[in-house]
């Protein structure tokens, strides 16, 4: 699945004769709060209004303040979370209110890796060396992969200063 792309700009840019949409890209107008999607080289209006908010906390505060009737009145409202709040790992999120809960439209919002979140570990035990790589993304989710190297016969596998050492005698 490809990353979801949002482009933000003025309604006049969308309405310009020179505008050419990119297929599958969402366009969010910053002055009229409308949401479009590119289909081929054309655009399709998805919603007349999308509220732009800075963080997920504000989104939660909005829906918890609604009465039962207001929650019904806001069905199909779209909100776009920019992620500009302090220390906010949630960004580039489009949600819609279904009457009870928020439903995320673009589940693949992970576009960055935490620069401090890459770890590499080497271990060896019983002539099997294991290399493990862990990457933490900007949402603090970990992705881990590893592989083993096994020594047989006269080939030994050990770990030494962060390296797998393969020695054949």
39 touches 21 (CB < 8 A): yes
d(CA 146, CA 150): 13
d(CA 144, CA 133): 6
Tokens of 125: 């035990």
CA 139 to chain centre: 7
What pLDDT does 116 receive?
65
* Residue closest to 105 by CA, chosen among 83, 78, 85, 137: 78
Q: What is this structure's pTM?
A: 0.48
CA 135 to chain centre: 14
Task: Give the single-character DSSP code of 61.
Answer: H
What pLDDT does 113 receive?
57
Place of tokens 């479009």: 36
* Residue closest to 94 by CA, chosen among 39, 44, 56: 56
d(CA 23, CA 110): 20
* pLDDT per residue as tens, the chain (169 positions): 456 788 889 999 999 999 999 998 999 988 888 889 999 888 988 877 788 888 888 888 998 999 998 888 888 888 888 877 666 667 778 888 888 888 888 766 555 555 566 776 788 888 888 888 777 766 667 778 787 888 888 888 888 877 778 888 6
Cα angle 125, 130, 132; round to 5: 140
Query: Cα separations (Å) of 80 from 36, 64, 97, 120, 129?
Result: 13, 17, 12, 36, 46
What pLDDT does 12 receive?
92
78 touches 95 (CB < 8 A): yes
Q: Give residues with Cβ within 8 angstroms of 110, minimum separation 6.
A: 137, 138, 139, 141
What pLDDT does 16 receive?
92
């Amino acid at each position: 699945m490809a990353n979801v792309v949002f482009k933000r700009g003025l309604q006049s840019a969308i309405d310009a004769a020179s505008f050419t949409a990119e297929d599958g890209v969402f366009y969010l107008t910053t002055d009229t709060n409308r949401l479009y999607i590119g289909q081929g080289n054309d655009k399709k209006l998805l919603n007349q209004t999308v509220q732009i908010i800075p963080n997920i906390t504000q989104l939660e505060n909005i829906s918890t303040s609604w009465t039962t009737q207001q929650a019904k009145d806001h069905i199909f409202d779209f909100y776009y979370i920019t992620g500009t709040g302090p220390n906010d790992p949630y960004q580039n999120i489009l949600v819609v209110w279904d009457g009870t809960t928020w439903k995320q439209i673009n589940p693949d919002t992970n576009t960055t890796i935490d620069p401090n979140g890459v770890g590499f570990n080497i271990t060896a035990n019983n002539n099997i060396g294991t290399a493990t790589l862990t990457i933490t993304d900007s949402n603090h989710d970990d992705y881990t992969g590893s592989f083993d190297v096994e020594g047989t016969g006269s080939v030994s596998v050990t770990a030494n200063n962060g390296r797998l050492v393969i020695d054949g005698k």
